[in-house]
């Protein structure tokens, strides 16, 4: 039986898939499942994929990307005085996929199913079909991307999804250049009830927001305006995209670029730290637009959010935590089954190919973490109430690494204790604690960032890493999630805090530290019953107060250290 391959011809990336022993698989080309939908023209050859994407930075004028945005239009692309239609460019991408997959699978790729957005007009569909034919392919069928994603979802392990024979699904597809929302009824036959979107909204806009920030900083630091200079823009866009992707799993990142091209050939370097919060507030208006489109799609389908059984995430940009937060708020928690946002469309296309060719199709299993993994933090300093904050939400596809930033609450905080919890509650006692680790901190002011990172691998091993940012104090342990309540530590690596470390405090922080130390010392003094200890502590407090009055910096430091050390000693004995 001949294989009918599936092709997801995306705006940013494309991929090719097939059924392998009844299971859909995406074919890895040069080590990557996603092939950038980029074509670059070298005088000697036409280059496609990641090599073309790399050339975009140096040769933006001979490189074409995001051609899907103009499919079906009469727009022409002129490269080195030669005219290309959007169809021509797409056919180069399709031909590349055909040739590469053929070589890898040792089987000629003849027939395919190609996916297109549900909103594509007839002209756009025909144009896609023609591109396939120009690439030497027999296009068996053009199917809608949301339909393909739901086909794949329908073939997932039934235990992981609602067991109703018919279900209502919303596909939220946020890619590089387009946003699509479709409402489908899945049953024996799947039916698109409504489909809306915005063909000019996607990850590229988020990259551009970061690029604008970089341009502003370059303008401020170097007085150079690079807004119209394509080589610099291509370079910054690349860096911005990398930063954006990092922010999906880390709370902050730094863009470091040296020798940014500029017309005057000046040395322009850039170092810019961006936090996830800053990034998410920059893209907030875009996400609000997607929210309005969801309202519209539901209205068109005469449904409300409560009617939807599952929300399928499609497109690389749905990995942004603010997107999942928006959907959870809109549809309630646990509305999203674990569908790979990059590959489900291509896998669905392979399933469609299998259906056409009459192949046997097996159920698909996806590995996910079954419970939310959270850490315990102080919710309220007055009453010392603790709460659980999720680091890896349940149903996240594994392997996965996520980190979050937390802050010390008091100056000279000596320790952070990372409690690792499994479960869906925000109340620690209602979850299962699977481990804990302590990190001794170097002396630092209150509000010092501490990064907590969890990784979950395919064997269910959870690696917990905690780091006091800026002080290189870190510790890492492995926990075995299957051995609940045993606090089973597999590996433990740590770096020692530098207790000689000192920190620069602002006058306000200094005052706070002093107040805190005196307040704490007087509290301990009140509770002491041993006379000798009482006398020692009392004289250390007096000594500290006198040195503060004398305003002698060295004497203050010395008295403060003696007092803090003695308080620690008393506390250690108590423990």
Interface residues toward ligand AMP, by CB under 6 A: 10-13, 175-176, 203-204, 241, 244-245, 248, 315-317, 319-320
Dihedral angle over CA of 134, 137, 143, 149, nearest 10? -120
For the stretch 329-359, what's the b/e string if a residue is b when 16 or more beta carbons lie within 10 angstroms of its beta carbon?
ebbeeebbbbbbbbbbbbbbbbbbbbeeeeb
CB of 133 to ligand AMP, least distance (A): 24
Closer to ligand AMP by Cβ: residue 38 or 168: 38
Element spanning 290, H or E: helix 276-300
63 or 431: CB nearest ligand AMP: 63
- Short-list 152, 159, 191, CA closest to 361: 152
Q: Secondary structure of the chain: what % helix, strand, coil (to 5)?
A: 40, 30, 30
Q: How far is the CB of 142 from ligand AMP (least distance, A)?
A: 18
Per the CB < 8 A criterion, the answer to whether 100 and 29 are in contact is yes
Q: Which C-beta is closer to ligand AMP: that of 283 or that of 540? A: 283
Specify burial of residue 262 (Cβ count, 10 A radius: 0-12, 13-18, 19+). Answer: middle
Closer by beta carbon to ligand AMP, 8 or else 476: 8
Partners of 40 in the beta sheet?
Answer: 47, 63
- Please state the closest distance from residue 348 (CB atom) to ligand AMP, in A: 14
Residue nearest to ligand AMP (CB): 203
Q: How far is the CB of 245 from ligand AMP (least distance, A)?
A: 4
- The smaller minimum CB distance to ligand AMP, of residues 51 and 319, is found at 319
User: Cα separation of 226 and 2, whole Å?
Assistant: 53
Output b/e per residue, 368-387; b: 16+ Cβ within 10 A.
bbebbbbbbbeeeeeeeeee
**Nearer to ligand AMP among residue 402 and residue 475 (C-beta):** 402
C-beta of 33 vs 335, nearer to ligand AMP? 33
Smallest distance from ligand AMP to CB 28, Å = 16
Under DSSP, the state recorded for 363 is P
Q: Could you tell me the smallest distance in angstroms from the CB atom of residue 33 to ligand AMP?
A: 11
Residue 314 C-beta: closest distance to ligand AMP, Å? 7
User: Between the CA of residue 475 and those of 422, 451, 500, what are the distances in Å?
Assistant: 20, 11, 19
At 473 the three-state DSSP class reads strand
The tokens describing 412, both together, are: 């000279």
Least Å distance between CB 93 and ligand AMP? Answer: 13
Nearer to ligand AMP, 241 or 257 (CB): 241
């Amino acid at each position: 039986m001949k294989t009918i391959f599936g092709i997801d011809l995306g705006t940013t990336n494309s991929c090719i898939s097939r059924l392998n022993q009844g299971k859909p698989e995406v074919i890895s080309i040069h080590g990557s499942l996603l092939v950038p939908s980029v074509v670059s023209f070298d005088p000697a050859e036409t280059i496609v994929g990641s090599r073309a994407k790399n050339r975009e930075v140096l040769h933006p004028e001979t490189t074409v990307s995001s051609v899907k945005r103009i499919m079906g239009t009469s727009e022409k692309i002129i490269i080195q005085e030669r005219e290309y239609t959007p169809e021509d460019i797409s056919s180069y991408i399709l031909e590349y996929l055909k040739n590469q997959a053929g070589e890898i699978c040792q089987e000629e790729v003849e027939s395919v199913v190609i996916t297109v957005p549900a909103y594509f007009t007839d002209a756009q569909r025909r144009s896609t079909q023609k591109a396939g034919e120009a690439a030497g392919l027999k296009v068996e069928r053009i199917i809608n991307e949301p339909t393909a994603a739901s086909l794949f979802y329908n073939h997932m392990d039934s235990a992981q999804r609602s067991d109703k024979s018919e279900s209502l699904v919303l596909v939220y597809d946020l890619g590089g250049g387009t946003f699509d929302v479709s409402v489908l009824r899945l049953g024996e036959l799947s039916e698109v009830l409504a489909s809306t979107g915005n063909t000019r909204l996607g990850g590229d806009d988020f990259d551009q927001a970061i690029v604008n920030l970089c341009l502003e900083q370059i303008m401020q630091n170097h007085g150079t305006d690079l807004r119209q200079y394509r080589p610099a823009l291509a370079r910054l866009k690349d860096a911005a995209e990398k930063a954006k992707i990092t922010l999906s799993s880390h709370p902050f990142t730094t863009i470091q670029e040296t020798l940014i091209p500029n017309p005057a050939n000046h040395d322009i370097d850039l170092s810019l730290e961006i936090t996830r919060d800053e990034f998410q507030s920059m893209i907030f208006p875009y996400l609000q637009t997607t929210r309005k489109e969801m309202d519209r799609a539901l209205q068109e389908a005469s449904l409300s959010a409560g009617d939807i059984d599952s929300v399928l995430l499609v497109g690389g940009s749905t990995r942004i935590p603010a997107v999942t937060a928006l959907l959870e708020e809109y549809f309630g928690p646990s509305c999203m089954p674990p569908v790979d946002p990059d590959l489900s469309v291509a896998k669905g296309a392979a399933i469609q190919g299998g259906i056409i060719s009459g192949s046997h199709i097996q159920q698909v299993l996806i590995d996910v973490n079954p419970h939310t993994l959270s850490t315990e933090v102080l919710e309220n300093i007055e009453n010392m109430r603790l709460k659980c904050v999720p680091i890896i939400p349940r149903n996240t596809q594994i392997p996965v690494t996520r980190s979050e930033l937390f802050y010390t609450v008091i100056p000279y905080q000596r320790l952070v204790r990372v409690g690792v919890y499994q479960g869906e509650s925000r109340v620690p006692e209602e979850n299962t604690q699977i481990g804990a680790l302590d990190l001794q901190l170097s002396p630092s002011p209150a509000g010092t960032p501490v990064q907590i990172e969890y990784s979950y691998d395919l064997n269910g091993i959870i690696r917990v890493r905690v780091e006091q940012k800026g002080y290189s104090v870190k510790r890492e342990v492995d926990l075995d999630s299957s051995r609940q309540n045993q606090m089973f530590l597999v590996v433990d690596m740590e770096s020692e805090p530098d207790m000689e470390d000192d920190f620069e405090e602002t006058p306000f922080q200094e005052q706070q530290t002093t107040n805190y130390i005196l307040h704490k010392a007087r509290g301990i003094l009140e509770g002491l019953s041993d006379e000798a200890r009482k006398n020692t502590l009392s004289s250390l407090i007096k000594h500290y107060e006198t040195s503060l009055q004398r305003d002698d910096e060295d004497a203050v430091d010395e008295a403060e250290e003696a007092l803090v050390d003695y308080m620690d000693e008393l506390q250690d004995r108590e423990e």
